[in-house]
Homo-oligomer: A and B are copies of this chain.
Amino acid sequence: MSGWIAIAGLGPGREDLVTPEVTAMLAEATDVIGYIPYVARVAPRDGLTLHPTDNRVELDRALHALQLAAQGARVVVVSSGDPGVFAMASAVFEALEKHAEFGDTDIRVLPGITAMLAAAARAGAPLGHDFCAINLSDNLKPWSMVEHRLRLAAQADFAMAFYNPRSKSRPHQFAKTLEILLEECGPDRLITFARAVSTPEEALNTVTLGEATYEMADMRTVVLVGNSATRRVGRYVYTPRSAE
Contacts and interface: CB of A to CB of B under 8 A. Distances in A.
Interface residues of A, number: 71
Contacts of A118: 111
In the complex, the count of this chain's copies comes to: 2
Interface stretch (A34-42, A47-55, A102-110): A102-110
A60 interface: no
Nearest to A124: B93
Contacts of A16: 19-21, 24
B141 A107 contact: no
Contact of A241 (B91, B234, B242): B91
Nearest to A154: B152
Nearest to A108: B121
A14 B240 CA distance: 29
Interface string A160-174: 000000000000000
A2 interface: no
B19 A238 contact: no
B158 A132 contact: yes
A19 B83 CA distance: 16
Interface stretch (A67-75, A142-150, A182-190): A142-150
B24 A241 contact: no
Contacts of A157: 145, 149
A238 B62 CA distance: 14
Nearest to A132: B132
Contact of A114 (B117, B124, B140): B117
10 cross-chain pairs, A with B, having the tightest CB-CB distances, nearest first = A90-B128, A89-B125, A132-B132, A93-B238, A109-B121, A141-B243, A152-B156, A140-B242, A16-B21, A16-B20
7 contacts: A16-B19, A83-B125, A90-B125, A94-B238, A96-B233, A96-B234, A111-B120
